[in-house]
Amino acid sequence: MTDQAPLVVLATRIYAPEAAAATFRLGALVRSLAGRARVRVLTTTPPSALRPPRATLGGAQGNHPRRSVGMEGNQKRRSVGMEGDGRETSASASADPQVGVSRWPVLRDASGYVRGYLPYLSFDLPLAARLLTGPRPDVVVVEPPPTTGAVTRVALAVRSVLGGPIPYVYYAADVWSDATASMGAPAVVTSLMRTLERFALRGAAGIVAVSDGVAGRVRALAGEDAPVTVVPNGIDTDVFTPEGEQAQEAPGTAYLVYAGTASEWQGAEVFAEAMRRVVREVPGARLVFLGQGSSWPELRRVAGELPEGAIELRPLVPPEEAAAWLRGAAAALVSVRPGVGYDFAYPTKVVAALACGTPVVFAGPGPAAADVREHRLGAAVEHDAGAVAEAMVQALRARPDEPERARRVAWVREHRSLAATGDGAAAVVLGVRG
């Protein structure tokens, strides 16, 4: 690697160690770029629960020393708080010296997530300064929300006045303005979000969409000639494997697992409601939620109305630990609430489970449901508690089938490899650099 290697800057409010689909796909992108470019990630200070302990004369203090990945469990937190001490720090993202991570404190919601207007601004405004003053990039990759894309476009336009244009790639995981409208936001908010999203998309030299559905909506917003490339999300098949340990704290009876964010558009409450029937038909059945999100209070409420232990709410865990939970589960639960702007979403939870050989019970619409049906990867049903309960009962009663387990793993490795995701996105990024 020479000094002439291009500098790629990633601007994202979510990055490791927080567990999210964005973390996986951006990590894959960084790994793919690392052999061909210098990479600098501009991101946030992790939630306090995920930071390593501080070294003192008396030893480590502060946080639990276990390195976990971004999920809140039952801990009580401030509704909004500033994470970090206001200083920007750098750390290597990997053993490759060409990769660095620069973090900045942000506001987070009660679950520890960067979500909401003020948290977004707490990332976007410092980002503008970081883009204007840091090492000059050859290309920038920016993740949603659209406010971040808009800030990136403006900052790079200003910086381009001296030294020529700096292109950027917008990584379109979803279409935020559609989701905002479907959630019943005021018309003025929806209109503003659509304007910002269109502005961010139209300024991009390249756009990576995670599905054909997202690509179609991007073209509807930015124009049919928008430079969109579809690169599906994948999963790390070196971490999510059928081989390995199972979770030591898993229930001693058959259990189901929901691993990941549970917010409005997932509608994970449907699984909790379905447990009312499941525990009658399969006494001793357990449902474990590993995650965070706005649905957590409702999940906790339903759990309190069921037999003790029927539903367990646990914090998010590192990918390796999530894989251990998935390996031992009778099925993994994944959902998309219909009609809220995410019908085209393809949750990474699906491929994470399948890579471990675990079947999926999918509730809701979308391309993931179609894959589950077409390739016999589990059960795909309506987002309805009755239909979901029936599928959950069948999964709990099913006997282990090793050939089927191996077939599911093979399907993921052929169609949803994270390495292929990273290489596809990297090709777009390197293709637009100035």
Residue, of 334 and 318, whose pLDDT is higher: 334
Region 374-382: mean pLDDT is 98
pLDDT of 60 reads: 38
pLDDT band at 3 (very low <50, low <70, confident <90, very high): low
pLDDT-wise least confident of 2-6, 115-119, 405-409: 2-6
Share of the chain above pLDDT 90, in %: 68
Return the closest-CA partner of residue 325 out of 352, 298, 285.
Answer: 352
Higher per-residue confidence, 173 vs 79: 173
- Output the pLDDT for position 112: 74
Would you state the pLDDT for residue 66?
Answer: 34
Question: Is the pLDDT reported for residue 62 higher than 50?
Answer: no
Q: Are strands 168-172 and 206-209 parallel, antiparallel or unpaired?
A: parallel
Query: Distance between CA 20 and CA 250 in Å, rounded?
Result: 22
> 300, 291 in Cβ contact below 8 A?
no
C-alpha angle 15-48-326 in degrees, rounded to nearest 5? 60
Contacts of 313 (CB under 8 A, 6+ apart): 73, 74, 289, 296, 299, 300, 303
Q: What pLDDT is attached to residue 229? A: 97
How many C-beta atoms surround the C-beta of residue 160 within 10 A?
Answer: 14
**Predicted pLDDT at 35:** 83
CB-based contact 412:237 (threshold 8 Å): yes
Say whether pLDDT at 50 is over 70. no
The pLDDT-based confidence of 317 (bands split at 50, 70, 90) is: confident
pLDDT tens readout for residues 111-150: 677 878 889 999 999 999 999 999 999 999 999 999 999 9
Greater confidence, 77 or 228? 228
Averaged over 252-270, what is the pLDDT? Answer: 93
Query: 378: which residues sit within 8 A by CB, 6+ positions away?
Result: 331, 332, 359, 360, 361, 362, 372, 395
- Provide the edge-to-edge strand list for the sheet that holds 38-44: 89-92, 99-104, 38-44, 7-11, 139-142, 168-172, 206-209, 228-230
The pLDDT assigned to 47 comes to: 78
Contact in structure between 41 and 15 (CB atoms under 8 Å):
yes
Q: What are phi and psi of 195, to 5 degrees?
A: -65, -45
pTM over 0.85, yes/no: no
Rounded-to-integer distance, Cα 132 and Cα 87, Å: 17
